[in-house]
Structure 1
Amino acid sequence: MAGRFAPRSTRTTVRGGHVPVPARAVARDAGAPGRVREWVPRGPVDLGLVLGPLRRGPGDPTFRAMPDGSVWRASLTPAGAGTLRVSVAPGGGAVRGEAWGPGAEWLLEGLPELLGAGDEPEVFVPRHRVVARAWHRRPGLRLTRTGLVLESLIPSVLEQKVTTDEAYRAWRLLVRKFGQPAPGPAAGGRLWVMPQPRTWALIPSWEWHRAGVDNKRASTILRAVRVARRMEEAVGMSPEEARARLEVVAGIGPWTSAETVQRSHGAADAVTVGDLHLPGIVGWALAGDREADDAAMLELLEPYAGQRHRAARLILLSGRVPERRAPRMRRGDIGVL
């Protein structure tokens, strides 16, 4: 679930969320100049909130939040590998995007959508005090739309039924070993572009094992990349249609498809079901029910129909969560299976 309120290691609260980004950018040497686009959003944009769900852990090799207030991303676009640096002018206002590589133009063309230009936060109506308070405190929250499916699908599959530490480690190791260095200055040479679909398909079984990825998750990714073109075509569909297409692939269920379209489509209503923690958090915040299941969560979110993902994210950002009563989920070791 794309929301974060405190650095607690639960799958729901750590995954995605708010990346700390300094409010004011300072002058820096970005190295070789890239293609540039400036865009003025309709309202305030908080880069940490908008782009935070795209970061897969603090060591994500495809994402960097820099001390100068900029956010860097490396992506595999339909035009090829590309690096994008995004910064907001001091005091807000114009957003500057600078891009490098074969995918630079594609990334700059999609810059407004990436920062929530297609989102409609004004239609959201808070129905609960905790949601209203979080909404008021986060005016720069917009739902990102990357326009890329596999980029969100593969790490979401890696996160299935394991701890975030395990999933983030697997993503980090696989991207660094089988991906490619990002073009341009790339945040000081520390960015990597995720592997091509064919490269994912050729990763040997022992490399999946070394990354801590069991056969079930690895096989799901292999099935998805073998129909990569069909997966990426889902960008042109509605979120509901896209989810249906993704779920045709064995191993991709409602949890994974929701996590994917939240990012690829900016889907405001794609609430995550099947999550270990989210129902209890929503139940506690809205009804004082820490034992809520998916059915109870969906019932509580019904007043937000059409905006349920946004409502759930605001609840996560509110910090209103029940105290932990059980031990943390144990880290698995596929070497002993």
Structure 2
Amino acid sequence: MIKCPLCNSKETTIHARAKDIEYFTSDREFDIRACKPCGILFVDPMLSDKLGDIYPANYYSFKVTKRNFVVAVKEWLDRRGLKALTRQIPGRDLSVLDIGGGTGWLLDQVKTADSRVSHTTVVDIDDGARDVAISKGHDFHLSRFEDFDAGDRKFDLILMLNLVEHVTDPRAVLSKAASLLSPKGLIWVKTPNFDSLDARLFRNHSWAGYHTPRHFVIFNRDSLERTARESGLAVANFDYTQGAPFWSISIFDTLRRIGVVQASADKPAIYHPVTPLLQAGAAAFDFARKPFGARLSQMVLTLKRRP
């Protein structure tokens, strides 16, 4: 019996089977398993010892993002969210850590959003992102976050956007982040939600939120908030946000399978010219549904240290 990576329970069942429909790093079909006691999904097997294989050189966070309308809107939304976050943090100088931050593109938005940001650090496994990040003025550590040594530095804001689903032990990662947080600091987490409309529609068609095989653990709201509390953190705010990346790649793969579009390891779906159009339509659809209480396919948490 396959054990849950979070609670070690043997009460796990197959939720779905999925392939890599984005970067085609393998032809293998992976099991997406559900743990009944802790309410998570996880991929089996977890290829944590093959990160160099499952994260190809053309992986999206390793690349400098090309400007287009969708990217511009996303950056505007990021800046608005970051400004609302940093406004809650007192102090004349702020230190910000982005875990899995690649070239530091999000830290660029933080600096634009708040002039008090005086120190920025990226922790990432991509050696190719180092020079770009450093050229932008960010401190760069080529390391898994689990192995990162911050010395005596504490951070006023820690960014974990689309990160906790990529690690084998999210609780340990959140606990370490909590230990690096300044007393009045905040952690901003964004991660997929498997309790969403697109996750149900594409459940048995390699839903892009599985991001197979790179998403190791996937949460819903209950399991995510519980894991945060078990990591020594308090939930300051929770929200759902648009899941355009998951909708667009899921729809793109449907079109690919019927022969309308093409993608390959050399030319992933994310870089196809039709993808920004699918993203724009999906984002508009999710924004239209959100006021009616829709559980969208990405969750955003603001976390703080427990008193």
> TM-score per shorter chain, which class?
under 0.3
Q: TM-score, normalised by structure 2?
A: 0.25
Higher helix share: 1
TM-score normalized by the length of structure 1: 0.24
